[in-house]
Each structure stands twice: as structure tokens, then as C-alpha cells.
Amino acid sequence: MSGKLEILFLSNKQVNALAADNMIEVMHDMERVLSLLDEGKAISPNKAVLSWGETVEDENKYGRINAMPGYIGGEYDMAGIKWIGSNPQNYKLGLPRATVLVVLNDPVTKIPVAVSDGTTVSAKRTGAIGGVAAKYLSVSNASNMTIFGAGAQGRTQLEAILLARPTIKNVYINDAFFEKAQEFAEEMSKKYGITVTPIKEPEQYCSKSEIIVTVTTATEPIVEASWIKPGTLMINMADYEFTYDCVKMADKIVVDNWENIKHRKISTVALMYHEGLIKDEDITAHIGEIINGKKPGRESDDEIIYFNAVGMGIEDIAVVTRAYKKALAQGVGTKVTYWE
Ligand SMILES: NC(=O)c1ccc[n+]([C@@H]2O[C@H](COP(=O)([O-])OP(=O)(O)OC[C@H]3O[C@@H](n4cnc5c(N)ncnc54)[C@H](O)[C@@H]3O)[C@@H](O)[C@H]2O)c1
């Protein structure tokens, strides 16, 4: 090969300032990604999971690294991979649970063109998916919300859902460590000027919430079906956090990518599928079909809707691609020669 090949390297500060910090833009990216996927203009292979054990408990104890490749078309037209290391025990070392690198590859030559931090990108895009779910699937006048998990994702779920539903006035936050819930409540009530209450007994708060979000590292269900009232949107962002009965009582089951969910085999609805308790035809819609107007979202104020997102590399690739294009135009980032 003749000539010289360069990679643009973007640090966390650079990629965040260029693209990830702006939640409105990240929510727009996520709507586009889900829409393009539905139109067949994206490729999202199943995650490859590098695990140090067999069970969810092992994953919680020893961590894992996920490889999430993909191609996103449309205005992004970029391939790449998200490489996300996670160890839930990292908090004992004062380190974040998850750290992310995103590599972008030219979709024609397949040559890598950029390497970027993707840690905040990942948290923001996950929050944004919750925000998009709230926009299409929650009651329009939602005023109470319960969040389980006062970590990085809990914060971005709140940020995005408040943009989708500015009617929310009361947020209840539960965490396995009550002091984390207290810290979250103090920080978020100041940031958004709403009431955020740390809670220990979630039942009574879930019973009055129109939106319930789970973003924990729990390995057993934490939300019971008897707590769910008509009109509730359940957002299952992590693993086995809602009981099977919660899914059974839902009028609609909406997902980001059913094939990816079945393959990853960790969320409530995925476990139910593998036990033969639900079938492919029980999935009401991919959220991309709802965004594209092929299927309805929420149709009445009484519907109970369960939403699950496994997360896809194309979401991170889209945000980093937006940063990459801006970085080239503005001369931001460090060019590194890797072939000459
Ligand atoms: N679907 C997606 O696209 C996606 C993307 C990113 C992260 N996630 C998942 O979201 C989860 C949270 O990620 P994070 O980065 O915020 O992690 P984090 O470690 O920052 O926060 C997780 C929080 O959950 C709490 N928790 C654990 N068990 C609990 C329980 N039984 N009840 C209440 N709280 C409990 C922990 O104390 C912690 O505060 C992880 O499981 C992660 O895999 C999903």
C-alpha cells in the first residue's frame, strides 16, 4: 500500500463538546438510527460478549467486554465498532462501571478513520433511547416517574425523559445503596428544579408513576406487577429487572431490536422468550416502526406498555460520526499516522 493513513483521535472532552453533551441532538440521532434501522439502512449484528463466567451473577462480579459492530446509513453513512468494558465492582476502586472506545471505519474501503472515547456518548445515547421511548409510548401528561438505579444511566434517563415529557414534576429514585439515591436526588433536583425524592420502599411510588425506568445492575427483578397502574410505561433498560408478570400484563411490548435482544438473553422479555413464555408474534413493534408511522405508539391513556432496549453499536457510531464530521471541519482532534 502506498501513501499514508491517518486516524483522527478524539478525547472524551472533544467528542462530548462536539456531539454528546447536547441531549436534544443525541435524541435526534437516536430517532434517526431507529428509523434507518427499520428502513433497512443499518446493520446491527449481535453483540459479541467477552465474559469471565457463565451467569449474570458472574458478569456482575467479574465484568465483561462487549464488541458491538455496525453500519449506519442515511446522513451518517459510517461503519465501526463500540468496544465497551464493564465491571460493576469498579465503584470500589472509584472507577466508572463502563468505559468505551468507538472506532469508525469508512464504509467503502473499510479502513479505520477515527478512534474516539465513547463513555459519555454511551450514557447519553442510552438516556436518549429512554427519552424517545417516553416521547412515543408514555402518556402525554406524565407527572410522576420512578427510576431504579442512581448511576450514570439513571442520570441520562432523567435528562432525556424530562425533555420528552416536561410535564414531569416528581421523580422518585431508588438504589441498592440509599446514599447513592440521596446524592442523585440532591444533584438532580438542583439541576432541573423539580422534586427528586430518594426512596427505599418503591411500591407506593411506582403505583403513582406513569413512567418507571430500570437502569440497574440488579440480577433479580425489582419491579412487581401489582405496582403497575393503567397507563404506565415500563422502560427496561438493563437486565432482568421487571418480573415476568409485568410483561404479561402489558398491552404492548415494544423493543429496539428483537433479534439482538433474543441473542443477548439478559432482559426480562428475552428470558421469557427463551423459556417459551412469549413468541416472536407477541412483540407489538420495533420502536423504529412507530417512529416511521408504520405502527401506532400509545393509543390510549390506559394502555400499559413495556419497552426494552438492548442497545446497539450503531447508536454510538451515529453520535461519534456527527462528532467526527464536525471535528474534521473545525480542525479538532489529533491526527495519528498509523500507516506510511
Ligand atoms: N440498554 C442499553 O443500551 C444500556 C446501555 C448502557 C447501560 N445499560 C445497563 O444499565 C445498567 C446501569 O448502568 P450504569 O452505567 O448506570 O451503571 P452504574 O454502576 O453507574 O449504576 C448502576 C446502579 O444500579 C444500582 N443497583 C444495583 N442493584 C440494584 C437493585 N437491586 N436495586 C436498585 N438499584 C440497584 C447500583 O447500586 C448502581 O448505583 C447496567 O446494567 C448496564 O448494563 C444498558
- The set of protein residues with a Cβ atom below 6 angstroms from ligand 1 is 88, 97-98, 122, 126, 148-154, 174-177, 180, 215-218, 222, 237-239, 309-311
Separation CA 188–CA 191 (nearest Å): 5
Q: What is the pLDDT of residue 241?
A: 97
Q: Where are the domains of the chain?
A: 5-122+313-339, 139-308
Residues 6+ apart with CB under 8 A from 196: 171, 172, 173, 184, 185, 186, 188, 189
pLDDT of 1:
57
Q: What is the pLDDT of residue 256?
A: 98
The yes-or-no answer on residue 82 being catalytic is: yes
- Find out whether 314 and 104 touch, Cβ atoms under 8 Å: no
Q: How far is the CA of 297 from the centre of ligand 1 (A)?
A: 27
- Does domain 139-308 correspond to CATH entry 3.40.190.100? no
**Sequence-separated (6 or more) residues with CB below 8 Å from residue 167:** 140, 141, 142, 143
On whether the CB atoms of residues 306 and 254 are closer than 8 A, the answer is yes
CATH of 5-122+313-339 among 3.60.20.10, 3.10.20.600, 3.30.1780.10, 3.50.4.10: 3.30.1780.10
Q: What is the mean pLDDT of each run of 10 residues along the chain (340 residues)?
A: 87 98 98 98 97 86 96 98 96 94 98 98 98 98 98 97 98 98 98 97 97 95 98 97 98 98 96 98 98 98 98 98 98 96
- 319, 128 Cβ separation under 8 angstroms: no
Q: Which atom of ligand 1 is nearest to the CA of 180?
A: 39
| From 4, 13, 41, 82, active-site residue | 82
pLDDT of the residue at 2: 61
Distance 248 CA to ligand 1 centre (A): 24
For 212, phi then psi, to 5°, come to -125, 120
Residue 53's pLDDT is 87
